[in-house]
Amino acid sequence: MIFLRYESFRGYLKAYPVTSVIIALNALAFVLLTIAGSSTDLRMLIRFGAFIQTFDDPYGLSEPWRYVTSIFLHSGFQHLFFNLFSLLVFAPPLERLLKPLRYAGFFLLCGVAGNLASALIVAGNMLSVGASGAIYGVYGAFLYIALLRKASLDESSRKTVYTILIFGVIYSFISPGINIWAHLGGGIAGFVLCGLFQRRTIR
C-alpha cells in the first residue's frame, strides 16, 4: 500500500519537499486569513487572492494571478483540514514518482486547470478557493496509473484509488458550495499530465 506513511516528521520533510512546502503555504495562508479577520469572509478571501468570476469578467482574466493564488486559500478549518489530509497522504507517492520539480509544475497546472474549467463552464458570478482542483489532479494521476500502468500499483492501492474517486465524485455532487467543475477539471488535467510526464520519464 503506497498511501501509508511511515516516515518521521523530519524524514517526511526530506523525502517530500514540495508536498511539505505546499502544506506549509496552505496552513500559513489560513493562519494569516484568520488573524486578518476570518477565513470565511469573502472580502478577505478576495483581498488574499481568491479566484473571482464576475459578469463583467467571467473568466477572471483581468487578474490572472488569482488562478494560482486561490489554490493556497481555504474557506474554513474543515475545508483546510480535509485538503491538507489528502495532500499529506496521497501526494507523496506521486512526488516520488514524478520527482519534486516536475511534481511542483504538475500540482500548479492541475490547480490552474481546475479554475480554468470553472471559468469556462460557469462563466458568471463566482468565487473559488482551495487546493481541491490540484488534489483531484493527484487522484486523476493515480487513476491513469491504476488503469494504464497497472504494474506500478499493488492491488490494495488500486482499490484505494477507485474508492477515493467514487466517494470524491459523490461528495462533490451532493455537498453545497462545492465547485464540482474545478474538481473535474483538475482530475482530467491530472490524468492527462501524468500520461505526458510518464512518457517523458520512460524515454
What CATH number labels 9-202? 1.20.1540.10
- Each residue of 96-140: pLDDT tens digit? 999 999 999 999 999 999 999 999 998 778 899 999 999 999 999
Q: CB within 8 A of 75, min separation 6: which ones?
A: 39, 40, 45, 129, 130
pLDDT of residue 5: 87
Domain chopping of the chain, boundaries: 9-202
Catalytic residue among 39, 128, 132, 172: 132
pLDDT of residue 150: 82
- Give the residue-averaged pLDDT of 36-45: 92
Residue 183 catalytic? yes
Task: Read off the pLDDT band of 55 (50, 70, 90).
Answer: confident
Residue 75 catalytic? no
Instruction: Return the DSSP state at 152.
Output: G
